[in-house]
Amino acid sequence: MEKREGEAEPEQKEEEEQVVNPWMVSAKGGGKIDYDKLIDQFGCQRIDQSLVDRIHRLTGRPPHVFLRRGVFFAHRDLNEILDAYERGDKFYLYTGRGPSSEALHLGHLIPFMFTKYLQEVFKVPLVVQLTDDEKCMWKNLTVEESQRLARENAKDIIACGFDISKTFIFSDFDFVGGAFYKNMVKVGKCVTYNKVVGIFGFTGEDHIGKVSFPPVQAVPSFPSSFPHLFPGQDNLRCLIPCAIDQDPYFRMTRDVAPRIGYHKPALIESSFFPALQGETGKMSASDPNSAIYVTDSAKEIKNKINRYAFSGGQDSVEKHRELGANLEVDIPFKYLSFFLDDDDKLEEIQKEYGSGRMLTGEVKQLLVEVLTEMVERHRRARAAVTDEMVDAFMAVRPLPNMFI
| Residues whose CB falls within 8 Å of the CB of residue 389, separated by 6 or more in sequence, listed in order | 158, 164
Distance of CA 303 to the CA centre of its chain: 27
CA separation for the pair 326, 85 (Å, rounded): 42
Q: What ranges do the domains of the chain cover?
A: 32-273, 298-384
Q: Which of 166, 168, 177, 92 is nearest to 133 (CA)?
A: 177
Say what the pLDDT of residue 285 is: 63
CA separation for the pair 47, 63 (Å, rounded): 13
Q: Please compute the mean of the pLDDT values over residues 289-317 and round it to a whole number.
A: 94
First-to-final CA distance of the chain? 36
Say what the pLDDT of residue 282 is: 53
CATH architecture of 298-384: Orthogonal Bundle (1.10)
Summarised one tens digit per residue, pLDDT across range 349-403 is 999 999 999 999 999 999 999 999 999 999 999 999 999 999 999 999 999 888 8
Say what the pLDDT of residue 404 is: 79
Rounded-to-10 torsion of CA 339, 340, 344, 348: -110
Summarised one tens digit per residue, pLDDT across range 112-122 is 999 999 999 99
CA separation for the pair 110, 102 (Å, rounded): 17
Q: Name the β-bridge partners of 389.
A: none
Say what the pLDDT of residue 2 is: 44
Q: Which of 69, 39, 34 is nearest to 52 (CA)?
A: 69
Say what the pLDDT of residue 280 is: 64
Q: Do domains 32-273 and 298-384 have the same CATH topology?
A: no
pTM of the model: 0.93
Summarised one tens digit per residue, pLDDT across range 4-60 is 554 544 444 444 578 888 888 888 777 788 999 999 999 999 999 999 999 999 999
Q: Please compute the mean of the pLDDT values over residues 138-153 and round it to a whole number.
A: 95
* Cα angle: 107, vertex 355, 361; to 5 degrees: 55
Q: Considering the domain 32-273 in this protein, what is its CATH number?
A: 3.40.50.620
Amino acid at 108: H
